[in-house]
Amino acid sequence: MSPPPSTSNVPRVPRGGSLRERHRSMDRDHPAHSRHRRFSAHIVARRESMFERGASLDASIRRPSLASVAERGNWGNRWEFLLSCVGLSVGIGNVWRFPYLAYQNGGGAFLIPYIIMLALAGKPMYFLELAIGQFGGVGPIALWNCCPVMKGVGCAMVTVSLIVCIYYNVIMSYTLHYMGASLAAEVPWAKCDPEWANMDTCYVRGATNVNHSDPESAHTTVHRETASLQYWERKVLALSSGIEDLGPIKWDLALCLFISWCIVVLCLVKGIKTSGKVVYFAATFPYVILLTLLVTGLMQPGAIDGVLFFILPTWSKLLDIQVWRAAAGQMFFSLSVSMGGLIMYSSYNDFRNNVYRDALVVSVLDTVTSIISGMVTFSILGAMATDLGVPIDQVVKEGPGLAFVAYPEALLRLPCPQFWSVLFFLMLFVLGLDSEFALLENVLTSISDEFTWLRNHKLIFCVVTACFCYLVGLPCVTHGGNYVLTLMDVYGGGVGVVFIAIAECIGLLWIYGLGRISSDLEFMLGNRPNAYWRITWSFLAPVILMMIFLYSLVFHVPLRYEEYLYPNWANMIGWALACVSMLQIPIWAVLMVWKQPAGSLKEKLQMSARSTAEWGPSDTSLRSEWIAFTQKNVPGTLLSEQRKDCNNSTPINVGDKLGEAL
């Protein structure tokens, strides 16, 4: 990462006067400094100019007030942004969600679609969101000043973030439960305890005195289960027979969930300034633990068979559209694309930050982390299959609890498993904390940008939101709570995100225009996106995602949890949850078209598709230059309306093109 510009020859900023006046004074003496000013100063100046000229927001999406932006904060340095993106993208989804989806969908048969989806949709959209967020300097709702008719995409992103927030913290509560249990003299899954184990089927790998004393037992029809599996299902979850039987709340998990939310709120009280400091530890510590478990796992007998199952595909499964949909959902979930968090994070950047480099580093690191996590998990599964004498795909029940079965098994192989267990589950909690920061901050920031008076009640707003999420999340910590969590994960965090990504591509690349996007990024970064980015943005990503989404609708398979088949009413609830976010896109589109002042429907559609006077670079000193640059680099642009430059009252024609050809 390139060092920040030297400040040794820059005079001290004169004290007194408005922030904009102080920056203008410095710019007159040192013009070069204007390109490297703090983002917050750019935005504050921009808001001041808006208030001075009494800008009307009736036909546009409201932007934050001057006071709200002043309290919004900014990154202390570029490393905080990069590590925060690492923390957001490299999270529990890599260690918990990726291995169980890979196991559920045939190992290598899932890995191949995942890598293809990553190359054709994931990485391009990751770069696009970081770049456009940095360019506009606003959150995921105000971003759609570039195309008001698609405002619903931003609202849907915030809704998905809220849904994922709720069940994501439930998973974090599991890690707190395991962390507390690991403080005992012996980790509880190191033995079959009659308090929770089925003594007829429970066994401990490598134990000298197992429950099956009969040497023929390994070849009988009795289905043996590891102590770690039974501890997870019988002790931690007390899993019921199905979603019809939720049962009472498990108060130990409810307490862990409460503690988890308290930690999240405490870390977010000061917003981005707090979370930016936490990530120095949170984004780097997990790799030490994962690499330790990888080395330990690969040394076990049968581990290579598990790794080969993970790498080599079952070719027939590649024809199953559900595998491709699962790969697409995991790709978005892992990278946190189309959830708004990336746009929110990059909006705090300096306008000239090399966001391309950051996007490349984080997306590659995310993929590497997923593969390492997969190799750790499948090496353990291979060793378990060797012990049991069964195929790898039958060694444990498939489902979201896989990580809480396989990883504890691996920890038993380490010296002093209590110490390593505490570190590992602390790592999982920290991974989740990174992502939870971004998801909840995205919700708080976006809502506060719309209702700016909430900026004066940051703590109360944060606490009330956390309390709401805690109460809604309580059904996930009942005896049947894991069925509820799986329902929310598949529909709320999977199906809905794919649909939002499709709408995001349509809004940015087809309506606002590929040419405009390319021109904006060239103006900001100095280089025009190459053919790979333009082709994947405008054609491959939206078309592939549309095909997967539509095909999965036509050939929809009811949801399953291990061997349990969800009833129809539960699937309907899942689709209703997905529609809470998806339907916001057409609803807001209708509202934005209806509120336009033009007479005919055609004119209303045209006006709602044009970017508003609010849209432009976050650095307002570059606005006139950007307008001239756009008109020069996007020939044939449809001139739509007269706008005024934020820095003067001279009318300037700004073109808006409804589509761009490659």
- Binding site residues, as ranges? 87, 90, 94, 334, 431, 434-435
SS3 643: strand
In terms of phi and psi (left: phi > 0; alpha: psi -120 to 50; beta: otherwise), the region of 107 is left
Distance CA 126, CA 141 (A): 17
Beta bridge partners of 203: 226
Distance in angstroms between the alpha carbons of the first and the last residue of the chain:
32
Tokens linked to 458: 């940051």
Distance CA 469, CA 152 (A): 22
Which residues make up each annotated binding site for Na(+)? 87, 90, 94, 334, 431, 434-435
SS3 561: strand
Distance CA 486, CA 574 (A): 10
CA dihedral 463, 465, 468, 472 (to 10 degrees): -130
User: Of 390, 356, 392, nearest to 374 (Cα)?
Assistant: 392
Pair 40, 73: CB distance under 8 Å:
yes
Residues 530-539: contacts with CB under 8 Å, at least 24 apart:
531/662, 532/124, 533/124, 533/127, 533/128, 534/662, 535/662, 536/120, 536/121, 536/124, 537/124, 537/125, 537/128, 537/505, 537/508, 537/509, 538/505, 538/509, 538/510, 538/514, 538/660, 538/662, 539/662
State how far Cα 184 lies from the chain centre.
Answer: 34
Distance CA 181, CA 188 (A): 7
State how far Cα 44 lies from the chain centre.
Answer: 28
Question: What element of type H or E holds 485?
Answer: helix 481-487
Task: DSSP for 48-84, please give it.
Answer: HHHHHTT---TTS-----HHHHHTT---SSHHHHHHH
Tokens linked to 585: 């896109």
Number of other CB atoms surrounding residue 188 within 10 Å: 19
Distance CA 108, CA 120 (A): 18
Tokens linked to 16: 């007194």
User: Of 167, 177, 92, nearest to 421 (Cα)?
Assistant: 177
User: Of 424, 384, 387, nearest to 406 (Cα)?
Assistant: 384
Pair 306, 385: CB distance under 8 Å:
yes
SS3 173: helix
